[in-house]
Chains A and B, each alone.
Chain A
Amino acid sequence: MIQYILRRCLYALPLLMGVNILTFVLFFVVNTPDDMARMQLGQKHVTEQAVKNWKHQHGYDLPLLWNQQEKASEKLTETIFYQKSIGLFLFDFGVSESGRNIGADIKQRMWPSLSIALPSLVVGLLVNISVALMMVLFRNSYLEFSSIVLCVVLMSISSLFYIIGGQFFIGKLLKLVPISGYDTGFSAIKFLVLPVLISVVAGIGSGARWYRTLFLEEVEKDYVRTARAKGLTETQVLFKHVLKNAMIPILTGVVVVLPLLFMGSLIMESFFSIPGLGSYTIDAINRQDFAIVRSMVFLGSVLYIFGLLLTDISYSFVDPRVRLS
């Protein structure tokens, strides 16, 4: 197991380097350091000298990837790519183009993202599993048929509609919760009720149908027939045997998502004014703040790799047939 984990970590290094290079190239294909300077300096009275000063101050007056004019290793180190991207491997995210410490901002903003994402995941999981089990329990009946239709309808509705509709109905008409906003500590609960509810409802359609498929696969197996033949009730069969075996793919599907919960949901955070990492990233893209963009892409890649590793490890725990070597 340890060897496997170490090997996976080593594989991650060239992967992350590739992600870094790709992010860098894609960003600077669209934006030049001149463009970034003008974005930061504003629209009025921006002269060429001011742009030059800004670039020099922020280290963007170097070549992008290769410095022909330098000698030896400085051909590589005296470049924008090296100066801006290497620190990431030490998780030194540096400072944004507007002068804020990125690490401090990430530490502050990840908790609001998590405060929506985690309850949404847990509650959503419970609801989806319950609805899926109910559909399997009443399979081949009108109840199942109408549930499937309802799930398809729920899947077809845009998440934006859920958000705006939810804010309108529950926040504006019924006045049960604040329409948007956030607070720290337990005071945040009243702000999270609506976004969590909307996340759960918006995810029922796809989630319930997916879990229904997993449960149906199990329900057709011989051991289930044997359990029924032994006289177990349908609920006992479903909850004691089917659910346990179907949990393997469910669990691994959830584990891979766990690290990414920190990254947040852009639309949800924008409409509910949640100061999370989703809105942090998109704001940085709009402002052409390369420092934040590369930090968030790197962080997302690390979390994704970590999530996949966790998935493999958790799989080996829940399925005794799987051994990591």
Chain B
Amino acid sequence: MHNFFLAIFILFLASCDVSQLNNPYSETEEDLSILYSSFSERPKHLDPAIAYSSNEYGFIAQIYEPPFQYHYLKRPYQLVPLTATEMPRVEFYNQQDEILSGVFDDQQITYTKYTITIKQGINYQPHPAFSSENLRLSLAQVEAINDLTDLPQQTRELLAADYVYQIKRLAHPKIHSPIAEIMKHYIVGFDAFSKQAKTLDKTAVKSLDMAGVEVLNRYQYSILIKGKYPQFRFWLAMPFFAAMPWEADAFYAQQGLKQKNITLDWFPVGTGPYYLSENNPNRRMVLTKNPNFHEEFYPDEGDTDDEKNGLLKDAGKRLPFIDKVVYMLEKETIPYWNKFLQGYYDASGISSDSFDQAVQFIGDGDAKLTDAMAAKGIQLQTAVTTSIFYMGFNMLDGVVGGDSEKARKLRQAISIALDYEEYIAIFQNGRGVPAQGLLPPGIYGFEDKQAGMNSVVYDWVNGQYQRKSIEQADRLMTEAGYQHGVDPATGESLVLYFDTTSVSVDDRPRMNWYRKQFEKIGIKLVIRPTDYNRFQEKMRNGNGQLFIWGWNADYPDPENFFFLLYGANGKVKHGGENAVNYHNAEFDLLFEQMRNMDDSEQRQQIIQKMQNIVRKDAPWVFGFHPKSFSLFHGWYQNLKPNLMANNRLKYTRIDAASRAEKRALWNHPVFWPLILALCLFILLLFPAVKAFKRRAKEIVQ
């Protein structure tokens, strides 16, 4: 009998698969191509009228389809049709509602009309909202639902009316779209519609009309914009302007569903390549290939190097390639990084702790993978982001602000003293490029090398930027009336106040660095730590003196950066995004001229003039443009950095066989330390048992 049980036990052990005991995924992949990724913070909103942060776009950009998108491969970024048949027909109208043709002045434009034609035969993902009986569920039926799959799923064709419906949703105050306040200045009738809809239910917008948005026919709609606003085409590539079926709002508005967290905000309904088949933001979210996805093909042309880099291998093939995308909640960087190295995540960023393990800088400043990473077949991709971090001077401040030569020279001196090359090397692991002006690389108007140099802060030496010396900064300080940093009013070091939300222990080295930079020119920098809300309040009231801020482009147009210094956007006076409250009449005039121009030599020249104005006035210390470093396993293919597009997933591919092979190779469990520990424990038992027996025989005292 003992032998029988022993045999069963041995058979059981032998049949156990002891490879990859550390595999965190319980289901088998079978023949599916699955991408494994993660999210550290659950998205707050998946409603495209509300979602605006990058972690939310990571999901909804795969589900919702606006009429246009960015070309995946071509640079500079350019828009191409997505659900539209072609780029929008743009017509300009004067005050008499007459179409302007031929050569005309922009001042004559009263309205711009965008007419968009949608492709026929595009269907939505399967969803219960498209079945009319599911729009009249009883309380008992709702009670029985745990998931949307508990109801029969249907679909319908995408219509122009769906795009119009979404625009109306943007205007409804109860939806709290973050772009409502912007769009009311551009879309005709938007504000009036918003006031009309204020007291109505969200679903009521279906039957209300907005003056500037019209359904022309089943597949065509138009949007009327006040004046000329060429950047509107970029908004049309964002999920805000994607299609939304009215049935979705009607379905989710039914009583009882909200109590089960079954809402549009958590279960999107789109025409995109994927749909959200599982949404447990506490654990994992899963995108599954949309069985109704329309025909779309991998681009057959790109940049000059794309073919060499293997990015055109799948040219002309039908999208998407990946069947499923699994996002796991991963709050901490250490377990996430380790699972990436084990092959259980297909891509990863690089935290500061792991940077030296992954990347090394070679002689010419380029980054390359360490040998350990390269041996695993991991690829490194870097890209300068379309964003900027800067130190701002409050131009309303009596010391650092204003238009006087004294204040200007003070700001210029500080701009020289703040050595951002050093900052990037110390605090960013070299992941950044010092900014020469407002525009990052990749945005029209950016100029490279000497033509794009900030001559106030840099000299051109031996074909490279070289920061001016501290002596030059000192000279500027003297010209400003602060010789050696001494304030003549007090006879002591000039004191400046720096408001910051960087208040943790980890931020202390950074703050000390700033203090030392100012000390180089004799200024005493007083750090005023505060929380984010108090900081925002100070900015709104104009009570800050110096601060750090940043901006990430909404779209690849210089207007989206220059508006940050446009006088009419002043934060204190107008509640706008011009946080430094900068106002320069010449700059403002050039901005008004430049913002609506098409890309041309003339526009380029105006941009350079504006750059030179702000370099001279120095309302900002132009800090740096961050550089993103991403790691991908060798089996993850068709990857090209695209900082504008969020819907890249459909172009990428996973070599599942290669991944399975590598995972098996990298994840053999190691048992010998456990066996050794067990043996040691048993050995230690002997003296313990001996001592126990001896004690048992002792005479009790």
Chain A residues near B (Cβ < 8 Å):
30-32, 34-35, 38-42, 44-50, 53-54, 57, 95, 98-101, 103-105, 108-109, 112, 137-138, 141, 143, 164, 167-168, 171-183, 187, 190-191, 228-229, 233-234, 270-273, 275, 279-280, 283, 287
Contact of B331 among A137, A164, A178, A273 (CB under 8 A): A273
**Distance A48 CA – B541 CA, assembled complex (angstroms):** 13
A31:B328 contact, CB within 8 angstroms: no
A190:B21 contact, CB within 8 angstroms: yes
B695:A275 contact, CB within 8 angstroms: no
B176:A41 contact, CB within 8 angstroms: yes
Interface of A, secondary structure class, is helix
Contact of A167 among B24, B42, B181, B334 (CB under 8 A): B334
**In the complex, B44 has a CB within 8 A of chain A:** yes
**In the complex, B673 has a CB within 8 A of chain A:** yes
Chain B residue nearest in CB terms to A286: B41
A145 to chain B, nearest CB (A): 13
From 644 to 701 in chain B, residues with beta carbon under 8 angstroms from any chain A beta carbon are: 667-671, 673-674, 688, 691-692, 695-696, 700
B180:A50 contact, CB within 8 angstroms: yes
A280 to chain B, nearest CB (A): 7
Chain A residues with Cβ under 8 A from B173's Cβ?
A: 53, 57
Chain B residues near A (Cβ < 8 Å):
20-24, 26, 41-42, 44-45, 52-53, 173-174, 176, 178-182, 258-261, 263, 265-266, 280, 282-283, 328-332, 334-336, 338-339, 341-342, 531, 533, 536, 554, 575, 577, 667-671, 673-674, 688, 691-692, 695-696, 700
**Distance A283 CA – B21 CA, assembled complex (angstroms):** 31
Chain A residues with Cβ under 8 A from B339's Cβ?
A: 178-180
B21:A40 contact, CB within 8 angstroms: no
**Distance A177 CA – B20 CA, assembled complex (angstroms):** 8
Chain B residues with Cβ under 8 A from A105's Cβ?
A: 261, 282
Known: A171-B338, A174-B670, A273-B330. A50 touches B181 (CB 8 A): yes
Chain B residues with Cβ under 8 A from A141's Cβ?
A: 691
Known: A46-B178, A137-B692. A173 touches B670 (CB 8 A): yes
Chain A residues with Cβ under 8 A from B332's Cβ?
A: 180, 270-271, 273
Chain A residues with Cβ under 8 A from B258's Cβ?
A: 95, 99, 101
Chain B residues with Cβ under 8 A from A57's Cβ?
A: 173-174, 176
Chain B residues with Cβ under 8 A from A178's Cβ?
A: 22-24, 339
B24:A191 contact, CB within 8 angstroms: yes
Chain B residues with Cβ under 8 A from A48's Cβ?
A: 575
A218 to chain B, nearest CB (A): 17
A176:B21 contact, CB within 8 angstroms: yes
B437 to chain A, nearest CB (A): 22
Chain B residue nearest in CB terms to A35: B533
B335:A174 contact, CB within 8 angstroms: no
**Distance A280 CA – B266 CA, assembled complex (angstroms):** 17
Apart from A45-B178, A271-B334, A273-B328: 13 A-B pairs, beta carbons within 8 A: A50-B181, A138-B688, A138-B691, A175-B669, A176-B669, A177-B22, A178-B22, A180-B24, A180-B332, A183-B26, A187-B26, A228-B700, A287-B44
B282:A45 contact, CB within 8 angstroms: no
**A95, A100, A181, A275 pick with most chain B CB within 10 angstroms:** A181
- 20 A-B contacts (beta carbon < 8 Å): A38-B533, A42-B53, A42-B178, A46-B178, A50-B176, A105-B261, A109-B282, A143-B691, A171-B22, A172-B342, A173-B670, A175-B342, A177-B22, A178-B24, A179-B338, A191-B24, A229-B700, A273-B283, A273-B330, A279-B331
**B341, B533, B554, B669 pick with most chain A CB within 10 angstroms:** B533
Chain B residues with Cβ under 8 A from A171's Cβ?
A: 22, 335, 338
Chain B residues with Cβ under 8 A from A137's Cβ?
A: 692, 695
A179:B22 contact, CB within 8 angstroms: yes
B53:A272 contact, CB within 8 angstroms: no
**B26, B182, B531, B688 pick with most chain A CB within 10 angstroms:** B26
Chain B residues with Cβ under 8 A from A180's Cβ?
A: 24, 330, 332, 335-336, 339
Contact of A275 among B260, B280, B674, B700 (CB under 8 A): B280
Contact of A101 among B24, B261, B334 (CB under 8 A): B261
Chain A residues with Cβ under 8 A from B335's Cβ?
A: 167, 171, 179-180, 271-273
